[in-house]
Structure 1
Amino acid sequence: MTAELSLPQGFRAAGLASGIKEDKSIFDLSLFVSDAACCGAGVFTKNQVCGAPVKVSRERVPSDSIRAVIINSGNANACTGDRGIEDARWMTSQVANGLEISEEEVLVCSTGIIGHFLPRSPLEQGIPKVIQQLDSDSQAFLDAARGMMTTDTVPKQSTRLLTIRGNTVRVSGVAKGAAMIAPNMATMLALIMTDAPLSTSQTDQMLRHAVNRSFNCVSVEGHTSTSDTVVLMANGAAEVEELNEQELNQLQSVIDEVAMELGQAIIRDAEGADHFITIEVSGTKQRSEAFEIAQTIANDALVKTAITGSDPNWGRIVSAIGRTTVKLNEQDVILSINGTLIYENGLPADFDEQAVSEGMRQNRDVLIQVRFPFGDESTVFWTSDLTQEYVRLNSEYTT
């Protein structure tokens, strides 16, 4: 069940402005710490051009001894060569020294502009301060969520509670992202924490299951970032004994819910977006087929711009479906928009185009449903429309 936004037992967090960003008052540094060693796992960008923090963190998970994650925003530390690797490791060593733990127990994430060297001076001052401010309260959790933000307009947090054998287990997560979002692992930065007891292999399996149903099912413009990282940490502080299969399944569902809420929050905060689009594809033989179709629709610029204009231009959607590798023909497609049947049996349905358009114009949420007669597999995908404001924001990003 949902709960007040808070950290699981045994976790502390903090966030502050260290001075990395042009506006020195904006938060740019976050730290999450477990008081006890965690089983930790991570999934990372599949972009072959990846940031130095990705390379460093990827070497350290999965592990049964992760204690902290340090995150800076405003600088991605990507395409920065050997110096970038040194800077990422230096960040983890600064945290490790301050917490009196091993450097290998610290993961690092960076997000922001690509190709600029990480400024050590503000971090050298900021890291001891963020360690000093660590707390377990909701304000500290919020501050840490703020420190991860770049072009985000709101912090992204989620908390769920689960009762196991009379004990409360908590799962909480944070994420950042508003653009350069496309599913090829994770598509932004996110950290999920739980006080449930998990083994290293269970942590890894649960994270990958959740990512494939959440962060891998969101897209803004189809661009996979250099910095994508999602981490799951489990410290066992809830004092529940080893979970049985049913309890593990319950926990997996809760972790999935947190990941989905965070993934959807990214799309709702997509740069310049006017519409939040849900794409449901069902009736395929394999989930991978439904996923490919949904992803193709989501990334199609013509579909996205039509929705920007509240235009139920079904031809663009059907055409996008046809250019996938899934074997089908136009008679196999049944398409609905916001519950109105638009297309079936290879022909447009009899519908009120103006009414559908007006419904799209008046509502931020748009639902595209595509059905096939082939099988029982399905998927859900989330995306945004493509507006003039998105183009403006991204055309002026570095200049």
Structure 2
Amino acid sequence: MSPLTCKGFTACGVAAGIKKNGDPDLGLLVSDRPAAVAAVFTRNIVQAAPVVLDRERVKAGICRAIIVNAGNANCANGKQGMTAARTMTAVAARALGIAEDQVLAASTGVIGAPFPIEKVESAAPVLVDRLDENGTDDLARAIMTTDTLPKTGERQGEAEGTPYHIVAVAKGSGMIRPDMATMLCFVWTDAEVAVADLQTVLKQAVDTSFNCITIDGDTSTNDTAILMANGASGARIQTAEDLAAFQRLVTHLCRDLARQMVRDGEGVTKVVELTVRGVRSDDEAHFIADTIAHSPLVKTAFFGEDANWGRIIAAAGRAGVDFDPDRVDLFFNDVQMVKDGRGCGLEAEKEATEVLRLPEFSVTVDLNQGSGTAGMLTCDFSLDYVKINADYRS
């Protein structure tokens, strides 16, 4: 089997004219048989029409296809938006000869712009004709907005001697923070997995991947992650051991895609793996890591390659967690910058500055007060981030 293929699944992407620049902007993923489906969505109160539609349809636990567009979020469009979302799934269902309620929709792009449903209707026949078992890359390109690179991944597993594949595509470059991050992600496998197990696997994978990254601290109206399993390989995920192995593969794949997002973040020049440890509980560690990871002052210091550790401990101090500042240690990679709440001097700062010149590095904050730990993947704020978002609708 070729890389990035999965038995019983085909995919494609075409240019339907939704984007102003003429790039691919309409994609389709299809299972040749009914597939079990699980999904998680944005927690934003403002939700796009496809999110509202999909929330209802995934309750049935069965899906045959996902139609997705870039260039228009189909959000804040009222009844017309819901009509457009339903029409998207209807035209795909008719072209495929399947039930409409087994088609899900997803959109990404500008919020509040009227949705050009006529362009989807015109492109639907071509879209179906382009379906191919090797169409994963085309699908990944069709869902890009400010992304500069398509984001894909694959993992292979085995259940009771029968091999199976897991393939995924994702998009996300800006409006990224936990609470589902701001992204679309579609994962599909040719293994057979029960719907309840599928939902558990997806939620755990998302919580430790897309919910542990941030680019700019904003959440979106369209966040969607969908996992489909059609059983075409003959592999059946039934035993606790096989389910645990499947969980590890899906989680690892989602973490890979999450890192791809941060690396391709809008204007990003630094990818930073932040760890907070030595806290009384994992939850308290998460509060601190989240606060540091989202701090504009910390992120601009990363961009300026400035080992300004004071900004980091100041952010930790406003996270709402009680700790002793005189016990804090802080490291850039393996260079210790702070010991017992005090800076380690100019030589340490010089070494830390060299670390900050790397495109990827780690920051570790140790409170030395317990066994709780948490991690986040964050980045810098650059001048290009401002330029990209100032001109986004132009």
Structures share fold, TM-score greater than 0.5? yes
Tell me whether 1:360 sits opposite 2:356 in the alignment: yes
Decide whether the 8 Å contact of 2:237 with 2:243 is kept in 1. Answer: no
Residue 107 of structure 2 is aligned with which of 107, 110, 128? 110
Cα distance change on mapping 1:5 and 1:325 into 2, 3 Å: farther
Using the alignment, how far apart are the partners of 2:236 and 2:361 within structure 1?
A: 44
Tell me the amino acid that sits aligned with residue 218 of structure 2.
Answer: H
Question: Residue 14 of structure 2 aligns with which residue?
Answer: 16
Tell me whether 1:193 sits opposite 2:193 in the alignment: no
- Which ranges of structure 2 fall in alignment gaps of 5 or more residues? none
Question: Residue 153 of structure 1 aligns with which residue?
Answer: 148
Residue 88 of structure 2 is aligned with which of 87, 91, 94? 91
Cα distance change on mapping 1:217 and 1:367 into 2, 3 Å: same
Using the alignment, how far apart are the partners of 2:78 and 2:61 within structure 1?
A: 30
Decide whether the 8 Å contact of 1:145 with 1:156 is kept in 2. Answer: yes
Tell me the amino acid that sits aligned with residue 352 of structure 2.
Answer: V
Cα distance change on mapping 1:125 and 1:302 into 2, 3 Å: same
Tell me whether 1:333 sits opposite 2:328 in the alignment: yes
Q: Secondary structure at the match of 1:61?
A: helix
TM-score w.r.t. the length of structure 1 is 0.95
- Which ranges of structure 1 fall in alignment gaps of 5 or more residues? none
What does the per-residue CA deviation read over 1:65-109, in whole Å, with 9 as the maximum and x for residues that have no partner?
A: 111111100000011111000000110111111111111111111
Question: Residue 45 of structure 1 aligns with which residue?
Answer: 42
Matches within 5 A, 1:127-146: 127-137=124-134, 140-146=135-141
Using the alignment, how far apart are the partners of 1:388 and 1:169 within structure 2?
A: 44
Tell me the amino acid that sits aligned with residue 125 of structure 1.
Answer: S
Cα root mean square deviation, aligned:
1.4
Question: Residue 218 of structure 1 aligns with which residue?
Answer: 213
Decide whether the 8 Å contact of 2:278 with 2:373 is kept in 1. Answer: yes
Cα distance change on mapping 1:56 and 1:322 into 2, 3 Å: same
- Greater mean alpha carbon deviation, residues 247-256 or residues 163-172: 163-172
Cα distance change on mapping 1:286 and 1:102 into 2, 3 Å: farther
Using the alignment, how far apart are the partners of 1:207 and 1:109 within structure 2?
A: 17
Matches within 5 A, 1:277-288: 277-288=272-283
Question: Residue 348 of structure 1 aligns with which residue?
Answer: 343
What does the per-residue CA deviation read over 1:318-374, in whole Å, with 9 as the maximum and x for residues that have no partner?
A: 00001012221212322101211111212112443223213322x100211112333
Residue 7 of structure 1 is aligned with which of 5, 8, 13? 5
Question: Residue 380 of structure 2 aligns with which residue?
Answer: 385
Cα distance change on mapping 1:242 and 1:44 into 2, 3 Å: closer
Q: CA deviation at 1:4?
A: 6.6
Residue 78 of structure 1 is aligned with which of 75, 78, 81? 75
- Greater mean alpha carbon deviation, residues 301-310 or residues 47-56: 47-56
- Greater mean alpha carbon deviation, residues 233-242 or residues 141-150: 233-242
What does the per-residue CA deviation read over 1:223-272, in whole Å, with 9 as the maximum and x for residues that have no partner?
A: 00111111111111221234200110011000001100111111000011
Cα distance change on mapping 1:70 and 1:356 into 2, 3 Å: same
Using the alignment, how far apart are the partners of 1:160 and 1:128 within structure 2?
A: 31
Using the alignment, how far apart are the partners of 2:378 and 2:60 within structure 1?
A: 33
Using the alignment, how far apart are the partners of 2:305 and 2:234 within structure 1?
A: 52
Decide whether the 8 Å contact of 2:176 with 2:215 is kept in 1. Answer: yes
Using the alignment, how far apart are the partners of 1:266 and 1:397 within structure 2?
A: 18
Using the alignment, how far apart are the partners of 2:32 and 2:184 within structure 1?
A: 22
TM-score w.r.t. the length of structure 2 is 0.97
Matches within 5 A, 1:242-391: 242-350=237-345, 351-361=347-357, 363-391=358-386
Percent identity of paired positions between Structure 1 and Structure 2: 38
Tell me the amino acid that sits aligned with residue 25 of structure 2.
Answer: D
Tell me whether 1:178 sits opposite 2:173 in the alignment: yes
Using the alignment, how far apart are the partners of 1:240 and 1:120 within structure 2?
A: 39
Q: Secondary structure at the match of 1:327?
A: coil
Cα distance change on mapping 1:5 and 1:153 into 2, 3 Å: farther
Q: Secondary structure at the match of 2:61?
A: strand
Question: Residue 36 of structure 1 aligns with which residue?
Answer: 33
Tell me the amino acid that sits aligned with residue 358 of structure 1.
Answer: E
